[in-house]
Amino acid sequence: MDPSPAYPLPDRAHRERIAANLARVRARMAAAASRAGRDPAAITLVAVTKTRPFGDVLAALEAGQQDFGENRVEELWEKVHQAEAQGLQQAIRWHLIGTIQSRKSRLAVGPFALIHSVDRPKIARRLDRDARNQGKSLDVLIEVNVSGETTKHGFSPEALMATVPELLALDHLRYRGLMTMAPLVEDPEEARPVFRRLRELLLDLRERFPPERYPQAQWEHLSMGMTNDFEVAIEEGATLVRIGTAIFGPRS
């Protein structure tokens, strides 16, 4: 079989813009970490490429980016296949960050580093079943709707604590931590209490469901912070930030 033709790289000005944006975001992340007395190496930047062409992934890769996130599982698979066709699969860690429809749960079992969006018991059960059927285990985060907005997905903090025992019984899922989306606010300071609360919930889970007793409970990660609020999220303990606009520009 002929090798796939090389995917066309974006033009040079576009690549340079993405590289410069990435450098700026990384510098802002490091500054926020240092304000909080944290090691910047403990925070992973997930570049969110939803709606972007694969060329944007290539441009970011060229600038040293390794972790990429998509919110729709079909679009994630498209990009995975494009990466495979270019022989780049080993260079990328893929993250699924958006809500998963139950009937598409099978698609979420793939070469993905982390699923950030286990947002209801039913999807946890489906993912567990599909992972088992494929002889795999999945690394997941539980999504929490801290702000209680009805437009947001995720467990309420109360439902989370009540449901975790049931989730921990699903032994093809490894629970690596929590994820949240803060409300869209003018001033990122207004999102701070949401991030702080997510961190408190993680600490609470560590105490109540310690890994020594629950082997698939790991509770290491806080996936929180996007273009508008990632610095505040880092000050409050984020270990994964999910950033699209600040790297690739506004989505149409």
Ligand X SMILES: *Cc1c(COP(=O)(O)O)cnc(C)c1O
**Strand ranges (E), 119-214:** 138-143, 173-179
**DSSP letter, residue 188:** G
* CA dist list (Å): 202 to 40, 67, 130, 177: 20, 23, 26, 7
How far is C-alpha 243 from the chain's CA centre? 9
Note whether 28 binds ligand X by CB under 6 A.
no
Residues in contact with ligand X, total (CB under 6 A)? 13
CB closest to ligand X, residue no: 244
- Helices and strands, counts by H and E, the chain: 8, 8
Note whether 129 binds ligand X by CB under 6 A.
no
Nearer of residues 209 and 225 to ligand X, judged by Cβ: 225
The closest alpha carbon to 193, from 204, 183, 179, belongs to 183
Note whether 178 binds ligand X by CB under 6 A.
no
Note whether 50 binds ligand X by CB under 6 A.
yes
Q: Which x/- pattern over 190-229 shows residues binding ligand X (rule: CB under 6 A)?
A: ------------------------------------xxx-
Note whether 48 binds ligand X by CB under 6 A.
yes
Note whether 243 binds ligand X by CB under 6 A.
yes
Residues at the interface with ligand X (CB under 6 A) = 48, 50, 71, 97-98, 181, 226-228, 242-245
